Amino acid sequence: MDECEGLEERSGGTVKKEAETTTTARIFPNPTRGSLTLQLSSPLSQEGMLSIYNVDGKTVFSERLGAGTLERQLDVSGLPAGIYLCEVKEDAQLIFAARIVVTE
Task: Convert the pLDDT of each residue in 19-44 to its tens digit.
Answer: 444 578 999 999 999 999 999 999 99
Residue 50's pLDDT is 97
Q: Per-residue pLDDT tens for 43-96?
A: 999 999 999 999 999 999 999 999 999 999 999 999 999 999 999 999 889 999
Neighbours of 31 (CB within 10 A): 11
Task: Please tell me which residue, 10 or 46, carries the higher pLDDT value.
Answer: 46
Burial 5-14, CB ≥16 within 10 A → b, else e: eeeeeeeeee
Instruction: Tell me which CATH code domain 22-102 carries.
Output: 2.60.40.3080
Residue ranges per domain, the chain?
A: 22-102
pTM of the predicted protein model: 0.76
- CA angle 85/89/94 to nearest 5° reads 75
Task: Please tell me which residue, 2 or 84, carries the higher pLDDT value.
Answer: 84
